[in-house]
Amino acid sequence: MTTTPAPAPAGGVPDTDDPPAPATEAPAECRSRPRRPGKTSLLTGGLLGALIVLCLLSAGTGAYHIPLADVLASVQHRAGLGGAALDRVGESVLWNVRLPRVVLALLVGASLGCAGALMQGVFGNPLAEPGVIGISSGAAVGAVASIALGLSFFGNWTVTVCAFAAGLATVLLVYALSRSGGRTEVVTLILTGIAVNAFAGALIGLFIFFADSAQITQITFWQLGSLAQATWPKVLAVLPCALAGLAIAPFHAGKLDLLALGERPARHLGVDVERLRTVLVLVVALLTAAAVAVAGIITFVGLLVPHLLRMAHGPGHRFLVPGSALGGALVLVAGDLAARTVAAPAELPLGVLTALLGSPFFFWLLRRTRRRQGGWA
């Protein structure tokens, strides 16, 4: 026996005693902006185009000038696409001095920019940057200790290896100290990072106190940040870490967008917040420790680049994470070119130059945040 359902009332509203669910509207800051693929393509194309032009310009600029056409011809010749080789001096300068430096600037800048975007997404604060959890200071302790103690068990790679290992160890220590009851509070993580940064600074001062004049000079040069000692082996040393971190990061962009709604809504939408934070903090540690190990301490790239892209494109991490890698590479290639040419024949430390340009931006960002939100929240 079959029964015929009662017809629905006019207007297609089901005949039920349950009241309809009230329509709610998400807050303005939680509503996602409509996608604008044209703007995304335009920004991506602009960043790529500017990056290519700057790389070619940087490869030819210096005490030994190489015209742009000769740079292209030499690259084509090495790639087997025609072109022509330069003279012996030109080939040596281009392939043994300039191009390793340009490629290292690309990798270090992309790593720092991407790490900054991830940190800001994990902490939910556009003023966060990789150094806040002690990666840079920890790497500095490793490098300074290896110089001051005269360690040489890895030959010329001792400083780089010690900096990388100490940076990773510092992040793991900060993360372990900030966990309680199987969870990690963001505020606790930041405060632990501040304490570890202070302790690392004290250790660096202690090592400098006992170092001799030559060691102090080497320590100072490393702390100021520079790409002057770039070589192909250093490029190959940072390449695996940079590629691994840059490949993993975009796969978590969607989850970062959900985390921006808040921890509880993100959990309700299926995001394992604790696991996401753990993975991304390790990715940030990998990217930053590798960059600091080969280039020294270079600040403000991870802060400045993601925030500029966020103002230009919006808060969506699907563009912000890879876009910050492109923007970071662009900023560091441009900064390295300026460091080599502004005070020629002398060379400015790259870390000093980025700090000089980044500090005013940070103060402006702080005032802007306080004016709009009344504080850091």
In a domain, 2, yes or no: no
pLDDT, tens digit (0-9, with 9 covering 90-100), for 276-318: 988 998 899 889 888 988 898 898 898 889 988 988 888 899 9
How confident is the prediction for the chain on average, in pLDDT? 83
In a domain, 106, yes or no: yes
What is the pLDDT confidence band of residue 37, given thresholds at 50, 70 and 90?
A: low
Q: What is the pLDDT of residue 172?
A: 83
Q: What is the pLDDT of residue 319?
A: 94
What is the pLDDT confidence band of residue 36, given thresholds at 50, 70 and 90?
A: low
Write down the residue that tokens 């022509």 correspond to.
84
pLDDT, tens digit (0-9, with 9 covering 90-100), for 230-243: 999 989 988 998 99
In a domain, 224, yes or no: yes
In a domain, 63, yes or no: no
Q: What is the 3-state secondary structure (H, E, C) of 230-253?
A: CCHHHHHHHHHHHHHHHHHHHHHH
In a domain, 351, yes or no: yes
Q: What is the pLDDT of residue 374?
A: 53
Range 60-76 average pLDDT: 91
With a CB cutoff of 8 Å and minimum separation 6, the contacts of 319 are 40, 43, 44, 309, 313
% of the chain with per-residue pLDDT over 90 = 34
Residue 189 reports pLDDT greater than 50: yes
Residue 100 reports pLDDT greater than 50: yes
124: containing domain: 102-370
Residue 19 reports pLDDT greater than 50: no
Output the domain CATH number for residue 221.
Answer: 1.10.3470.10
Q: 3-class SS at 22?
A: coil
In a domain, 238, yes or no: yes
pLDDT, tens digit (0-9, with 9 covering 90-100), for 141-152: 998 999 999 888
In a domain, 27, yes or no: no
Range 195-221 average pLDDT: 90
Residue 48 reports pLDDT greater than 90: yes
Residue 373 reports pLDDT greater than 60: no
Distance (Å, whole) CA 214 – CA 147: 10
Range 97-109 average pLDDT: 95
Domains held by the chain: number: 1
Distance (Å, whole) CA 88 – CA 76: 17
User: Phi/psi at 183 (nearest 5 deg)?
Assistant: -130, 160
Range 162-185 average pLDDT: 81
In a domain, 56, yes or no: no
Amino acid sitting at position 117: A
Among 13-22, 81-90, 143-152, 223-232, the least confident range: 13-22
Distance (Å, whole) CA 265 – CA 263: 6
